[in-house]
Amino acid sequence: MKFQELNSLAMQATRILAIRHGETLWNVDTRIQGHLNIDLNETGRWQAERVGQALAEEPIHAIYSSDLRRAFETAQAIAHAPARLAAQTPTPAQVTPHLQLRERHFGHLQGKTWAEIEAEHPEECKLWRGRDPHWAPSGGESLTALRERIQTCVNELASQHMGEQIVLVAHGGVMDALYRLATQQSVEAPRTWHLGNAAINRLLWTPQGLSLVGWGDVSHFDQGHGAPRDETTT
> What are the residues whose beta carbons fall under 8 Å from the beta carbon of 187, sequence distance 6 or more?
131, 133, 143, 144, 146, 147, 177, 180
Containing structural domain, residue 212: 3-217
- Distance between CA atoms of residues 154 and 78, nearest Å: 20
Question: Is residue 21 annotated as a catalytic residue, yes or no?
Answer: yes
- Asked if residue 197 belongs to a domain, the reply is yes
Residue 82 confidence (pLDDT) above 60 = yes
- Asked if residue 13 belongs to a domain, the reply is yes
The number of distinct structural domains making up the chain is 1
- Distance between CA atoms of residues 140 and 171, nearest Å: 16
Question: Is residue 103 annotated as a catalytic residue, yes or no?
Answer: yes
224 pLDDT tier (thresholds 50, 70, 90): low
| pLDDT, position 3 | 43
- Asked if residue 193 belongs to a domain, the reply is yes
Between residues 224 and 161, which one has the greater pLDDT?
161
- Asked if residue 94 belongs to a domain, the reply is yes
- Asked if residue 84 belongs to a domain, the reply is yes
- C-alpha dist (Å) from residue 106 to 25, 31, 36, 168: 18, 11, 10, 21
Q: Which of 67, 68, 26 is nearest to 43 (CA)?
A: 26
> What are the residues whose beta carbons fall under 8 Å from the beta carbon of 19, sequence distance 6 or more?
51, 74, 75, 78, 167, 168, 169, 170, 198, 199, 200, 201
Average pLDDT over residues 102-112: 97
10 pLDDT tier (thresholds 50, 70, 90): low
- Asked if residue 229 belongs to a domain, the reply is no
Bridge partners (DSSP) of residue 205 are 14, 210
- Asked if residue 8 belongs to a domain, the reply is yes
The catalytic residue among 103, 124, 141, 231 is 103
Average pLDDT over residues 92-104: 94
CATH number of the domain that residue 193 is part of: 3.40.50.1240
Q: What is the pLDDT of residues 157-168, one digit of tens each?
A: 999 999 999 999
Residue 68 confidence (pLDDT) above 50 = yes
- Asked if residue 211 belongs to a domain, the reply is yes
| pLDDT, position 9 | 55
Q: What is the pLDDT of residues 148-192, one digit of tens each?
A: 999 999 999 999 999 999 999 999 999 999 999 999 999 999 999
